[in-house]
Amino acid sequence: MGFVGDGSCSSSGGDKGGCFIGGMKSLVRRKQVDSANSKSSSTSGSSHQLAKALTIPHLITIGVGSTIGAGVYILVGTVAREHSGPALTISFLIAGIAAALSAFCYAELASRCPSAGSAYHYSYICVGEGVAWLIGWALVLEYTIGRSAVARGISPNLAMLFGSPDSLPSFLARHTIPGLNITVDPCAAILVFLVTGLLCVGIKESTVVQGFVTSVNVCVMAFVIIAGGYLGYKAGWPGYELPVGYFPYGVDGMLAGASTVFFAYIGFDSVASTAEEVKNPQRDLPMGIGFALSICCSLYMLVSAVIVGLVPYYAMDPDTPISSAFASHGINWAAYIITIGACTSLCSTLMGSIMPQPRILMAMARDGLLPSFFSDVNKRTQVPIKGTIATGLLSGTLAFFMNVEQLSGMVSVGTLLAFTMVAISVLILRYVPPDEVPVPSSYQEAIDSVRLRRSSCSSSSDMDVEKTKIPAVTSGDSTPLLGEISVGHPLAEKAAAKLSYLVSQRRKVAGCTILFICIGVCIVTSAASIVNLSNPARYALSGIGGLLLISGLIILTCIDQDDARHSFGHTGGFTCPFVPLLPIACILINVYLLINLGGETWARVSIWLVIGTCIYALYGRTHSSLKTAVYVPSTHVDEIYETSAISLAC
């Protein structure tokens, strides 16, 4: 029947080989999609759940506010001068399409598995505990560094509203500690603490405030589009009337610009982190993610189209491209409006980067991988206040003492790893969804009861089958062609065995194909990114990787997707289109961007991941809620819970 444990070693065995095997099995154990049964069993001892308070407008607010940061006010000038030229709008479009690939994957998993944890949660269900831990740990780093960097970027923009970078009041202004060469930023720390306090009030209240701040930012961008469009129309769009044409750096430059501006779309994944707090996740989460990304892409494209038309790309100010473009047409006062937009966008992004981390920590603590301190939900506000305060204090302290701009590349690693793993999870969901799920060992009596019941039913069914006769196949004169063949006939048994073998092999073929696709992606992207590689080696690696990639795509396209995908998680939500092509393209793009982040960034991230691995080995692996779980066929889960409920009622 397939009822098995998790394979962990016993404490009294002393068998190192068994412990090693048990430790390796713990890396690939997968948890169950949260259902009514699993939630009731896993949270029976917990105090409260998160509030179901969010709807589509709230999700759009979170998505847009977390995505559109102050970077767009600088990115336009830098990318146009160095990469895209007037084709900056196309760069934003291509980057938006690339981000949409990840958004499609997120939308399906978020609607099927609407629980806190985002990519960590999906990886745990589809891939395994070890990978899920690393994804969650990388996301913790991303949000910690990200919000500290955002907070330290607010004070210079606030100072500009008062006339100069040094015009903030003394208690808010930056100061350098003599002898230590440390520049402290009280304004950044205070803002982090204020936002943390706001998030502790409640998810709906904080989202309303974020909606107001985001609306101000969107209005500023609308001003840039409308006023800039009017100025460009009057001036005849001088930025487009150039002898070098629309692609001064060629198509390669435009694509390089798209790779750079892709990171301007990072943030919509914050919507998925609030899945457990959405009233109708199957409908609202896909729509919230889709609308947020569409709004961001439209605003980016319109702003870039206007600005590169106002000023020739080579004459843009790389630090203040938008305000200097208006100033070149005599609108100097626009700098104040644009600075307001930069401040509000940073504040909104700060809220969007603080919100997800306590929920990811809460999901990891629920699974036993972190102390239960992080899983406590406040009774009144229905928010993980302890985790929110702890992460807020850490980020506020970091923002106060440390300039994290040199660590900003580490933010992208967590996001791109999450994007990659979400796309892989979609392939697993479609072709090799988990056929065994964990049930708490407290249900052992119900498990044994179901096992005995199904064994007896199977035995009686076999006896009935042996007595059953297949009607003879006859010709026109009623003469039997094959005669009577019982189901127990060797030919029938052989055909049934062959069919069963093919079905089991289909899963193995699909699983191996997904693995080879990932290997092919790594080979192709490495060959394209390593600058010191000789051309023959580059062509050879590209050929090998391309062969694996294309062969995998063809195989997955030709074989059937698993029927179990229809019953995986919550049904009735969004379905990712163009599978397997779309997830594979998503994996390819994200891995390419990951490899190109640079060796220094990866060295820093590797230290963080090594620390996380040690914590998992010493604490998470031994405290996991799946350590004593019993794995049963997914088709038997409901029957086991029903049997347990009946026995308790009796």
Residue range 411-456, pLDDT digits in tens: 889 999 999 999 999 999 999 998 888 888 888 888 888 888 877 7
Q: Is the pLDDT of residue 477 over 60?
A: no
- CATH number of the domain within which 91 lies: 1.20.1740.10
Res. 556 pLDDT band, cuts 50 70 90: very high
Query: Residue 562 gets which letter from DSSP?
Result: P
- State whether 570 and 558 are in the same domain: yes
The secondary structure of the chain in percent helix, strand, coil, rounded to multiples of 5, reads: 70, 5, 25
In whole angstroms, what is the distance from residue 518 CA to residue 586 CA? 11
Average pLDDT estimate for 326-344 = 91
Taking the CB of residue 526, how many other CB atoms lie within 10 A of it?
Answer: 17
Is the domain of 509 the same as that of 613? yes
Q: Which are the contacts of 44, defined by CB distance < 8 A and separation ≥ 6?
A: none
477 or 243: whose pLDDT is higher? 243
Count CA within 13 A, CB hemisphere, residue 79: 32
Can you tell me the mean pLDDT for 161-167?
71
35 in any annotated domain: no
Query: Which pLDDT band holds residue 504 (cuts at 50, 70, 90)?
Result: low
Q: Tell me whether residue 4 is in a domain.
A: no
- Is the residue at 315 inside a domain? yes
pLDDT range class, residue 51, cuts 50, 70, 90:
confident
Largest CA distance in the chain: 108
**Does residue 3 fall inside a structural domain?**
no
Q: Are residues 354 and 445 in the same domain?
A: no
pLDDT at residue number 1: 45
Residues 84 and 195 in one domain: yes
Q: Which of 167-171, 309-313, 485-489 has the highest mean pLDDT?
A: 309-313
Q: Find the domain containing 513 and state its range.
A: 438-450+495-649
Cα distances (angstroms) measured from residue 249 to each of 77, 311, 549: 15, 17, 30
- Whether the per-residue pLDDT at 462 is higher than 50: the answer is yes
pLDDT at 487 over 70: no
Residue 44: pLDDT over 60 = no
Q: Mean pLDDT, to the nearest integer, of 605-622?
A: 94
Q: What is the mean pLDDT of residues 397-410?
A: 80
Q: Please say if the pLDDT value at position 591 is more than 70.
A: yes
Rounded Cα–Cα distance for residues 511 and 346 (Å): 43
Closest CA to 64 of 297, 408, 262: 297
Query: Does 152 lie in the same domain as 55?
Result: yes
Q: Residue 470: which residues within 8 A CB-CB, separation 6 or more? A: 484, 485, 486, 487, 492
Q: Which of 436, 458, 485 is the last residue of a domain?
A: 436
pLDDT 10s digits, 108-143: 999 999 888 899 999 999 999 999 999 999 999 989
Q: Count of CB atoms within 10 A of residue 431's CB? A: 23
**Residue 37 within a domain:** no
Distance between CA atoms of residues 38 and 640, nearest Å: 11
pLDDT-based confidence at 70, cuts 50/70/90?
A: confident
> Has residue 586 got a pLDDT over 50?
yes
pLDDT at residue 480 greater than cutoff 70: no
Residue 22 lies in a domain: no
Domain count, the chain: 2
Residues 369 and 506 in one domain: no
> Averaged over 480-506, what is the pLDDT?
58
Could you give the dihedral angle defined by the CA atoms of residues 172, 178, 182 and 186, in that order, rounded to the nearest 10 degrees? -10
389 and 446, same domain (yes or no): no
User: pLDDT, tens digit, for every residue of 202-248?
Assistant: 999 999 999 999 999 999 999 999 999 999 999 999 999 888 888 99
Q: Would residue 16 count as lying in a domain?
A: no
> Are residues 389 and 445 both part of a single domain?
no
Q: Indicate the average pLDDT of the chain.
A: 85
Yes or no: say if 61 and 214 are a contact pair by the CB < 8 Å rule: yes
Tell me the pLDDT band of 523, cut-offs 50, 70 and 90. Answer: very high
Separation CA 61–CA 595 (nearest Å)? 32
On whether the CB atoms of residues 425 and 126 are closer than 8 A, the answer is yes
Alpha-carbon dihedral sign for residues 66, 72, 73, 78: positive
Instruction: Give me the pLDDT at residue 638, please.
Output: 76
Contact predicate 213/202, CB 8 Å: no
Provide the b/e sequence for 587-600 (b: ≥16 CB within 10 Å): bbbbbbbbbeeeee
pLDDT digits (tens, 9 = 90+) for 265-324: 988 889 999 999 999 999 999 999 999 999 999 999 999 999 999 999 999 988 889 999
158 and 145 inside one domain: yes
pLDDT digits (tens, 9 = 90+) for 96-108: 999 999 999 999 9
- Separation between Cα atoms, residue 97 and residue 620, nearest integer Å: 37
Q: Based on the domain organization, do 108 and 230 belong to the same domain?
A: yes
Q: Which of 436, 468, 484 is the last residue of a domain?
A: 436
| Cα distances (angstroms) measured from residue 324 to each of 190, 266, 278, 338 | 31, 26, 42, 10
The answer to whether residue 36 sits within a structural domain is no
Query: Is the pLDDT reported for residue 341 higher than 80?
Result: yes
Query: Do 121 and 263 fall within a single domain?
Result: yes
The confidence score (pLDDT) of residue 183 equals 86
Tokens read off for 155: 């004070």
pLDDT at 164: 67
CA 354 – CA 357 distance, rounded (Å)? 6
Whether residue 380 is found in the same domain as residue 443: no
